[in-house]
A and B are shown apart, each in its own frame.
Chain A
């Protein structure tokens, strides 16, 4: 029926996969390499996928490149942890520094749709103060965008993604009710709620990008969630609202081209210093695609890597790097957890893993460190659960097998915690070469004292919450990390930032960055909704700049 989407491109010959039909196709416009399109977008995840749709819908000619394959989830995704490693970015990388960031699963994606294809769908807004954390809270860096503007775009993103969530949200300024009703809680979610109530803090149903009811919109092809529990390994039913199911179909319908299995290795620049297109690798050959604008949307590691790998005589330190900040201020988020065993059965494999959440410590400033964190219920599948037992407890042999027998009685609460920007945490180029002959990223990371204080605080709080509801044999997982940000930060000063509020590089006016790299701070929530809100705003700004003749 179909060739292996990891081996042969599918979006060719005037058509692209129809992800909603097994073996199906939709028509796709194609552009010649010699035709300078308005926008080449490198990456099709939360940033690039969203922008591709919104720019194409405004009438711009768009080609969106992705190094990964173009999957039809219903036929290409197995319901299996091992096989679904196919969704991760597992190209070579070198990790460095006192606290190397484990790469792979939860912080990368290699597929059309990027990591939204396997994200846990947690769709949270930043706390308003975080957009001016330097000014209002005394740490990090200010964003060049107001929280009011960002919250307006959050609202648009939530509606277009059909986010399911609570009627009223316990923290922050009043927000509209979520477009879709909250999902029913599984036992892991109910126990999180009981734990929060036991220590006297609020909890709520997690806003999630998976449908809780039939979808009635114009492209209403996503069915309601079937509570398979394999969300982080790809949604085989398309209930998940991701770049693959929401934005890419819109981009294609509006005339954008998607080039799958197309690795952009270099951004080309002309004698006037402006970018002229990209060099990319597809099916064994290198090609050049001309473009009037290039948007880099490869996330916090691949974006700086591409900018650095595109160095020329005019730009010896890489593109958009006049500030010297490309690759710097890499941030991950702490992902510590507390686990315990309940007498009652939990069976956390049923349903999305993080159905309930507390953001209490994102909004309560009565603590002796900077930044915030949330925590959510968990539902690791067996391989991941074994990795917690070996990684956090060092178990193996009979001890490991015995501990694993309690799988259906375990609960866990896991934080997403804010780490502070630090220029020494960075992405540079290593000497190792990848399968395309390109220098790979070297990722250097150290935790600061504030990061450790935040984790310690969270471990105390999370422990207290599950101890209060009778969890036994509790243990802590202290050093795990998750999402990334920084490395091409936005700001209002060309000397201290890489791009402006519109995600446009200060140095090269037709070079843009639109992904989590632009975050000056990461906050204590999952980043995908914020990336999409920024992409929605960037699309609006590009439209206005074009209308004013300022592109």
Chain B
């Protein structure tokens, strides 16, 4: 994204050692940030397709420190941490992802002269994803998997949850992040505790950026 940060200088991780983070929170966030960026659940081929897909669902191209969503997705599937249920016409989560990624790649090759999904240009990838969302790509390549359902109820459920569960996303949207045991004293939206992110507004006396360096 090209627009300037709404919460300049805000980094939720600076609150790591404040009363806003208990030990368990530090443990799970550290684990998330240390997720290995190598396939453990996916095959190498699946990883490439999933990586290209994640980059279109949550584009981060002009960010300095992008979140590796494919690594988080691989870890989630490895742990099989899902919602548990399946719709009668759908497989369970792991199987849905394996079959879905293979079908997306097959669909790309069929539409674009044998080029797999990872080899497509961004606009080609987006076009294919929009076909899926619009329910326009069912066929033999999908071997019974409903492409629209896979897009809406697997891809759009799983991938955004990984991004918005990451501290980078909390910085971007000005979310207070972990709050345990310390919560909030000032409940109104326009009254900030010192440990909340300040939104950049021209008329502010202290600039948001100065304030955001001290969210302790």
Nearest Cβ on chain B to A146's Cβ, whole angstroms: 38
A236 interfacial contact with B, CB 8 Å:
yes
Contact between chains at A77 and B180 (CB < 8 Å): yes
Convert A21-57 into 0s and 1s, putting 1 for each residue whose CB lies closer than 8 angstroms to a CB of B: 0000000000000000000000000000000000000
Looking at the complex, which one of A90, A349, A389, A408 makes contact with B84 (CB distance below 8 Å)? Answer: A90
Contact between chains at B161 and A387 (CB < 8 Å): yes
B170 interfacial contact with A, CB 8 Å:
yes
Among residues of A, the one whose C-beta sits closest to the C-beta of B7 is A408
Using A92-B92, A226-B183, A236-B180 as known contacts, say yes or no to A386 and B32 having CB atoms under 8 A apart. no
CA A100 – CA B149 in complex, angstroms?
13
A508 interfacial contact with B, CB 8 Å:
no
Among residues of A, the one whose C-beta sits closest to the C-beta of B201 is A345
Within 101-157 of B, Cβ neighbours of A (below 8 Å) are at: 126, 129, 133, 152, 156-157
Contact between chains at B180 and A228 (CB < 8 Å): yes
Chain A residues contacting B182 (CB-CB under 8 Å) are 226, 228
B38 interfacial contact with A, CB 8 Å:
no
A177 interfacial contact with B, CB 8 Å:
no
Give the segment of A131-139, A289-297, A324-332, A396-404 that binds chain B.
A396-404
CA A345 – CA B141 in complex, angstroms?
48
A368 interfacial contact with B, CB 8 Å:
no
CA A398 – CA B85 in complex, angstroms?
30
Nearest Cβ on chain B to A20's Cβ, whole angstroms: 13
A423 interfacial contact with B, CB 8 Å:
no
Interface size on A, residues (CB 8 A): 67
Contact between chains at B189 and A381 (CB < 8 Å): no
Contact between chains at B160 and A386 (CB < 8 Å): yes
Convert B77-94 into 0s and 1s, putting 1 for each residue whose CB lies closer than 8 angstroms to a CB of A: 000011111111000100
Nearest Cβ on chain A to B5's Cβ, whole angstroms: 9
Using A80-B28, A92-B92, A228-B184 as known contacts, say yes or no to A408 and B85 having CB atoms under 8 A apart. no
Among residues of A, the one whose C-beta sits closest to the C-beta of B161 is A383
Contact between chains at A230 and B160 (CB < 8 Å): no
Chain A residues contacting B172 (CB-CB under 8 Å) are 401, 404-405
Nearest Cβ on chain B to A116's Cβ, whole angstroms: 19
Give the segment of A81-89, A166-174, A537-545 that binds chain B.
A81-89
Convert A195-230 into 0s and 1s, putting 1 for each residue whose CB lies closer than 8 angstroms to a CB of B: 000000000000000000000000000000111111
Contact between chains at A345 and B199 (CB < 8 Å): yes
Using A76-B24, A77-B24 as known contacts, say yes or no to A396 and B160 having CB atoms under 8 A apart. yes
Chain B residues contacting A346 (CB-CB under 8 Å) are 189
Chain B residues contacting A92 (CB-CB under 8 Å) are 84-86, 92
CA A332 – CA B44 in complex, angstroms?
42
Q: How large is the interface on B (under 10, 10 to 19, 20 to 34, 35 or more residues)?
A: 35 or more
B97 interfacial contact with A, CB 8 Å:
no
Contact between chains at B83 and A75 (CB < 8 Å): no
Contact between chains at B22 and A236 (CB < 8 Å): yes
Convert B1-12 into 0s and 1s, putting 1 for each residue whose CB lies closer than 8 angstroms to a CB of A: 100001000000
Give the segment of A59-67, A182-190, A247-255 that binds chain B.
A182-190
Contact between chains at A78 and B22 (CB < 8 Å): yes
Nearest Cβ on chain B to A406's Cβ, whole angstroms: 8
Using A78-B24, A186-B188, A408-B199 as known contacts, say yes or no to A394 and B178 having CB atoms under 8 A apart. no
Chain B residues contacting A283 (CB-CB under 8 Å) are none
Chain A residues contacting B176 (CB-CB under 8 Å) are 229, 347, 349-350
CA A160 – CA B162 in complex, angstroms?
39
Within 433-451 of A, Cβ neighbours of B (below 8 Å) are at: 442-443
Contact between chains at B84 and A229 (CB < 8 Å): no
Contact between chains at A400 and B160 (CB < 8 Å): yes
Contact between chains at B25 and A382 (CB < 8 Å): no
Contact between chains at A187 and B189 (CB < 8 Å): yes
Chain A residues contacting B21 (CB-CB under 8 Å) are 79
Q: 25 interchain pairs (CB within 8 A)?
A: A75-B22, A78-B28, A82-B161, A88-B84, A93-B84, A94-B86, A103-B84, A225-B183, A226-B179, A226-B183, A227-B187, A228-B184, A230-B180, A236-B181, A344-B189, A349-B176, A381-B175, A382-B169, A383-B165, A387-B161, A390-B156, A391-B156, A404-B172, A407-B175, A408-B189
For the complex with contacts A82-B32, A93-B86, A404-B173, 8 further pairs of A-B residues with Cβ separation under 8 Å are A75-B23, A80-B165, A88-B84, A102-B85, A350-B186, A350-B187, A382-B165, A401-B58
B residues lining the A interface (CB < 8 Å): 1, 6, 20-25, 27-29, 32, 56-59, 81-88, 92, 126, 129, 133, 152, 156-157, 160-161, 163-165, 169-170, 172-176, 178-190, 196, 199
A residues lining the B interface (CB < 8 Å): 74-83, 85, 88-96, 100, 102-104, 184-187, 190, 225-230, 236-237, 344-351, 381-383, 385-387, 389-391, 394, 396-398, 400-402, 404-405, 407-408, 442-443
Q: Which 5 A-B pairs have the closest CB atoms?
A: A90-B84, A228-B183, A79-B180, A226-B183, A79-B178
